[in-house]
Amino acid sequence: MTKLSVNINKIATLRNARGGNIPNLLKVAIDIERFGAQGITVHPRPDERHITYKDVYELKKCLSTELNIEGNPQEKKFIDLVLNVKPHQVTLVPDNSQQITSNHGWNTLTHATYLKDTIALFKSHNIRTSIFVDADLAMIEGAELAGTDSIELYTEEYARQFEINKELAVLPYVKASILAQQLKLVVNAGHDLNLQNLKYFKQKLTSLSEVSIGHALISDSLYFGLENTVQLYLRQLV
């Protein structure tokens, strides 16, 4: 079964909009674990507009499943956070402080030396590493050369094309997954996966290890309830 890691950034966004501690981020994270998710993902930004750095330290103390921290390691503050918290996994994402959300993967060839050095640093602290990449075979080969343990396929293009032609939409990701397997990389995926397109994606990528889903899952929970929504997503991954 492919693991579900729930990104809780949107819970923090809702809390921060009003101030105070409603909803309680830590309780929501613990409940998501209790409802069956196998991991929690956070993506702190330098301006802390949703997840704060304090949140990450507190989450590490109370979670019983895997903690995945996403972010751009070009920010020294982010590197220090990861080295201090020591999450189970760090996912390197090439976003900048002005982006609303991630919108592309790394060019693993242009940034080869930087990625290799950064990954070596994290792995020296026994932190599993993943590189956020597009479904581009050259970028996946570059990820392997950088020494990463896994890749996270950026799936916005798949989600955008799914309603038009799902077979063509998933094909680049199937090819990417096959190559990653050959290179002995673990395959994760995330971005715009939802209840409509997730099951088909999982069926086509037989080696899919983990998906990270936040916006769609939290939005669906407004209609279906959080516990039921987590269960609905888990059923897509069987």
Active site residue 191: yes
**In angstroms, rounded to a whole number, what is the distance separating the alpha carbons of residues 131 and 44?**
16
Which tokens go with 179?
A: 């190559």
User: What is residue 132's three-state secondary structure?
Assistant: strand
Catalytic choice (43, 50, 152, 210): 43
Sign of CA pseudo-dihedral 158, 164, 166, 169: negative
Active-site residue identified among 50, 66, 152, 191 = 191
Residues contacting 101, CB < 8 A, separation 6+: 95, 191, 215
Active-site residue, 33 included = no
- Report yes or no: 70 and 89 within 8 Å, Cβ to Cβ: no
Q: How far is CA 25 from the centre of its chain?
A: 18
Amino acid at 208: L
Where does the chain show beta strands of DSSP type E? 3-7, 39-42, 66-71, 89-92, 128-133, 150-154, 186-190, 208-213
Instruction: Choose, from 66, 70, 152, 210, the residue flagged as catalytic.
Output: 70
Active site residue 70: yes
Catalytic residues: 43, 70, 191
